[in-house]
Amino acid sequence: MALNLADLIEHTIDAVPQRIALESGDRVVTYAELEERANRLAHHLQSGGVGPGDKVGLYSRNSIECVVSMLAILKARAVMVNVNFRYVEKELHYLFDNSDMVALIHERQYADKIAAVAPLCPKLKAFIVIDDDSGASLDSFGGVEYEKALAAADPARDFGERSPDDIFMIYTGGTTGMPKGVMWRQQDVWRVLGGGISITTGEEITDEFQQSREGAAAPQVTRFPVPPFIHGGSQWAVLTGMLTGGKAVVYPDFGGAFTWEMVQRHRVTVLFIVGDAMARPMMDALLAGDYDTSSLKSLTSSAVQFSPSLKEQFVAALPGVVIIDSIGSSETGFSGLSVVRAGEQSSAGPRVRIDASTLVLNEAGQPVAPGSGEVGVLARSGYLPVGYYNDPAKTAETFRTIGGVRYSIPGDFARVEVDGTVTMLGRGSVSINTGGEKVFPEEVEGALKSHPAVLDALVVGVPDARMGHAVAAVIALRPGVEVTFEDLDTHVRQHISGYKVPRSVWLAEAIERSPAGKPNYKWALAQTQVRPADLP
């Protein structure tokens, strides 16, 4: 079996060459056109010395060129490095150097930053530039324009044999620390994220042509991954479409109203978002506007908190649409999901049904008993990453063997409920120890965001002479709304225990998150250190 992503996608290309693969504005790209452009770019990379296992950076917002580049990198057996387009020069230097990057595909608008960083990265030799009308100069590092590179390259598919051991890598920033490159064998990541194992039955696909054959025979699914492709879930929303003959709608920027306009324009079937950072402005726009959402079959949120109160609003506003809250990480892949139903509102973290390969383990390495109230860590076995690139110590810390079983344990704390579902409580790295009690920020944030005045919130621990640390919140209010500390305090106490309730509150115009929607707890803590609390 050719359990390599490029091989599997090429099966789809051969099965549905004239079907539309990508759509953005008035631009459409068929599978045959996607194939030709990706082949040309792959050959250009190879002609510049890029070989199997070499790291190629992709420094771009969502675009057709970005998706073509993903496929080209796979075809050349190179390894894609997703570059956060909001990084400053210091962060770019770290990523380029840490990944051993040898080539970079980037939008022209980032040329000034690249010019400053490239001389510090001697392994980085080749630059391919996606034009964006910014007019930025390429003189200092000699970038080749994307379309010129394609025009001069061979369109043939003649790349030779590939391996299921070829690496797929996702650089994950998480909520703390520097980014880490999570390395997967392509066969393993396909099993976990690409449909190589049935979500419903748990059975493994044994026929390499099954996905392309079934996709060709079925009505086409139109996916709209709203988050930037620096987010692994967004990458896989597109890759899954390419494995199954689907269509992907891609746009570089996010807006609440804009998202619904594109759902209407492109007749989107499946919408992928990341938590409240996208869900809340989308819900505000949906309630204020008049959009045709009749094509939409499902809306999935992943990776960051999707507040229960917001889920309820989506269920009410989109009857007939399946609303899904899924969990997972770059280190585990998909781990579980919940289908949201009316009347199930909870103010804690996401409550999901985990899959057969996922457990919650206590400190002794034993499964947590349902309904015990004990908090453990989420641990996944089965198909797992090889480890972190260039970081053996972190690899040993996260990927552990317990009782003869290798697990991925990235640090997500959880509690198992009586019915076997799991309530996610957040990363232990940002938990708060207050008077000996452990408080998980996501649980408190969920309670705060269930208040109608609160638009967004982050919870951190601040030094306290008596308790060691006290729970504090940084919140953004809805425009034109005021709230008192007493009002918030009374509301939150209806949802969580008293020791978890914030003792002080800072107000911010907006909560700072990464482009992928992940919370910036370092920023939130800094807000508490520069001025007194607004709602003490």
Q: What is the DSSP letter of 476?
A: E
Q: Give me the domains of the chain, ranges plus CATH numbers.
A: 5-202 (3.40.50.980), 254-427 (3.40.50.12780), 437-530 (3.30.300.30)
Residue 427 has pLDDT above 80, yes or no: no
Residue 490 neighbours by CB under 8 Å, 6+ apart: none
How confident is the prediction for the chain on average, in pLDDT? 91
Residue 128 neighbours by CB under 8 Å, 6+ apart: 41, 44, 45, 69, 103, 104, 105, 106, 143, 144, 145, 146, 149
- pLDDT at residue 396, rounded to an integer: 95
Instruction: Count CB neighbours of 90 within 10 A.
Output: 9
- pLDDT at residue 133, rounded to an integer: 87
Least confident of 48-52, 74-78, 146-150, 432-436: 432-436
- pLDDT at residue 177, rounded to an integer: 61
pLDDT digits (tens, 9 = 90+) for 8-57: 999 999 999 999 999 999 999 999 999 999 999 999 999 999 999 999 99
pLDDT band for position 200 (cuts 50, 70, 90): low
Tokens of 10: 């090429």
Kindly compute the dihedral angle of the four CA atoms of residues 224, 229, 233, 234, in this order, to the nearest 10 degrees.
Answer: 0
Instruction: Count CB neighbours of 509 within 10 A.
Output: 7
Contact 215, 12 (CB under 8 A): yes
Query: Phi/psi at 482 (nearest 5 deg)?
Result: -120, 160
Least confident of 9-23, 96-110, 360-374: 360-374
Instruction: Count CB neighbours of 393 within 10 A.
Output: 8
Q: Higher-confidence residue: 419 or 78?
A: 78
- pLDDT at residue 435, rounded to an integer: 77
Query: Phi/psi at 152 (nearest 5 deg)?
Result: -90, 0
Residue 516 has pLDDT above 80, yes or no: no
- What is the mean predicted confidence (pLDDT) over 363-374? 91
Determine the distance from the C-alpha atom of residue 157 to the mean position of all C-alpha atoms in its chain, rounded to a whole number. 31
pLDDT digits (tens, 9 = 90+) for 133-184: 898 888 888 899 999 999 999 999 999 999 999 999 999 865 456 789 999 9
pTM higher than 0.85: yes
Residue 146 neighbours by CB under 8 Å, 6+ apart: 41, 65, 105, 128, 129, 130, 131
Residue labelled with tokens 């390969």:
357
Q: In 3D, which of 427, 431, 446, 442 has the Cα closest to residue 492?
A: 446
pLDDT digits (tens, 9 = 90+) for 243-291: 999 999 999 999 999 999 999 999 999 999 988 889 989 999 999 999 9
CA angle 104, 174, 300 (to 5 degrees): 95
d(CA 296, CA 260): 10
pLDDT band for position 1 (cuts 50, 70, 90): low
Instruction: Count CB neighbours of 279 within 10 A.
Output: 24
- pLDDT at residue 170, rounded to an integer: 95
pLDDT digits (tens, 9 = 90+) for 389-413: 999 999 999 999 999 999 999 888 8
193-207, 208-222, 308-322, range with greatest mean pLDDT: 208-222
- What is the mean predicted confidence (pLDDT) over 418-447? 83
Residue 467 has pLDDT above 60, yes or no: yes
- pLDDT at residue 86, rounded to an integer: 86
d(CA 53, CA 168): 10
Instruction: Count CB neighbours of 87 within 10 A.
Output: 21
d(CA 401, CA 284): 46
- pLDDT at residue 251, rounded to an integer: 98
pLDDT band for position 303 (cuts 50, 70, 90): confident
pLDDT digits (tens, 9 = 90+) for 326-356: 888 889 988 877 888 766 655 556 777 888 8
Least confident of 78-87, 138-147, 299-308, 398-407: 299-308
d(CA 203, CA 197): 6
- pLDDT at residue 530, rounded to an integer: 87
Q: In 3D, which of 96, 105, 15, 16 has the Cα closest to residue 68?
A: 105
